[in-house]
Amino acid sequence: MAFEQRIPRDTSANLFAEAQEYFPGGVNSPVRAFRSVSGPPLFIREGHGSHMTDEDGNRFLDFCCSWGPLIHGHDNPHIREKVIETVVKGTSFGTPNRLGNQLGKLILDNHRYVERIRFVSSGTEAVMSALRLARGVKGRNKIVKFDGCYHGHVDNLLVKAGSGLATLGTSSSAGVTESVARDTLVLPLGDRDLLERTLTEHAGEIACIIVEPIPANNGLLIQDKSWLECLRIKAWKHDVLLIFDEVISGFRVGFEGAAGLYNVQPDIITFGKVIGGGFPVGAYAASKEIMDYIAPVGPVYQAGTLSANPVAMAAGLAALELCLEPGFYEGLAERTAAMADRITGYAKEKGYPLHVPHVGSIFWLAFGNERIERADQIDPANMTYFKTIHHELLQTGVYLGPSGYEVGFVSSAHTDLDIQEAVAKICAAMDVAFSE
């Protein structure tokens, strides 16, 4: 499909051609290469508030928000000030520091589901450490994960369901050994009987169940609260740990994330994205009893040169302070719902096969009119619609993540006018996509 290009993209195209000389595929993270949409990836020069500007000078209303971290938009003044105040005093000492304490305290004082936390530098690192912790606590190797959930590029989790009814995983990336993959059991979301059977058949072998309580990496697969409660009960019943991977949902759908939203107590929670205020921070947290398995107190080793460095802690602290302001999450959720519901309403009126599920400030353009709760309900053929919508939106100054499987994020920097503009432009892009 050839797309009419109405905005200049030459500078981005040239920089991308240059980047091919340095990085595999020209990028440092695969989805940035724009392989599922049209044109070269945009090289972004700067961002302020709800907008960002590329190297060709095009300005975009940004709904990717760096894939979730920027809940306060770009260049938030409070975060910027805290970071600048900190960075001039040195960037990393490899020692404990006061800002780390402050962020730790702020989180633990306001999150009822965890008692101790350990900071790391990415979501992947948080998940990798949480799995090791679960195995260390239980003294077992196997883990249960769900098809449609993404947990970063941890070896054990780059695993997809095996063929047929077999739950034993097979590697989904070269370089992940079959022996590692075999320790991961992959189940469909929502299949309570299969979960029960798997936990029974592998009794004494499974350390933990890991789930994205709000799966947001393969579309937005909003789950029933009763399914999350079922996971909790079955984990207790079969004496395995329950890990909520809240790298996206943590501090995003509420300060207490999905645990708080659904009122379900997991054993371990992983965090990333929002927690670092736009800097590389991840964390895992649990009860004191479980976290005491971590070195230097306990036998599970985990460390990090730049963990809890003061600049990242300052950014995280500033970001989470803003999140705690009264009405913060309610306002965000209202604006997101208004946007999503207006788009869904327009699609319905026109008979377009699209609706926009949303939770908190996360939304997704879902093709078809039925609720989608599992990865296998997504029809890949519909991604051609997304490609057109994405392209049209770039032409009119709206940026969505460059894949139809990715969710969008609304930040507190998005004004009601921004939302109105986005609705109008997304509806116009749908007109183009569905008239072809």
**Residue 363 φ then ψ, to 5°:** -140, 165
Helix, strand, coil percentages, rounded to 5, for the chain? 40, 15, 40
Beta bridge partners of 180: none
Closer by beta carbon to ligand PMP, 41 or else 49: 41
| Minimum CB distance to ligand PMP, residue 411 (Å) | 17
35 CB-near residues (< 8 Å, 6+ apart): none
Contact of 380 with 351, CB cutoff 8 Å: no
Contact of 357 with 222, CB cutoff 8 Å: yes
Q: Which residue has the tokens 């207790």?
A: 236
Distance CA 278, CA 199 (A): 38
| Minimum CB distance to ligand PMP, residue 67 (Å) | 6
| Minimum CB distance to ligand PMP, residue 263 (Å) | 20
Q: Which residue is nearest to ligand PMP (CB)?
A: 123
- Residue-by-residue DSSP string for 153-216: S-GGGSEE--STT--B-EESSTTS-HHHHHTEEEEETT-HHHHHHHHHHTTTTEEEEEE-SS--
| Minimum CB distance to ligand PMP, residue 260 (Å) | 17
| Minimum CB distance to ligand PMP, residue 401 (Å) | 10
| Minimum CB distance to ligand PMP, residue 128 (Å) | 9
Closer by beta carbon to ligand PMP, 104 or else 152: 152
User: Is the CA virtual torsion 244, 156, 162, 364 positive or negative?
Assistant: positive
Distance CA 210, CA 261 (A): 18
Q: Nearest to residue 435, comparing CAs of 399, 394, 385? A: 385
Q: Which residue has the tokens 């805290």?
A: 82
Q: Which residues bind ligand PMP (CB under 6 A)?
A: 67, 122-124, 127, 150-152, 212, 217, 245, 247-248, 272, 282
Contact of 134 with 157, CB cutoff 8 Å: no
Closer by beta carbon to ligand PMP, 342 or else 358: 358
Distances (CA, A) of 36 to 1, 41, 56, 100: 12, 11, 22, 39
Closer by beta carbon to ligand PMP, 100 or else 282: 282
Q: How many residues does the chain have?
A: 436
Active site residues: 150, 245, 273
Closer by beta carbon to ligand PMP, 392 or else 406: 406
Closer by beta carbon to ligand PMP, 62 or else 212: 212
Q: CA 117, 230, 198: angle at the middle one, nearest 5?
A: 95
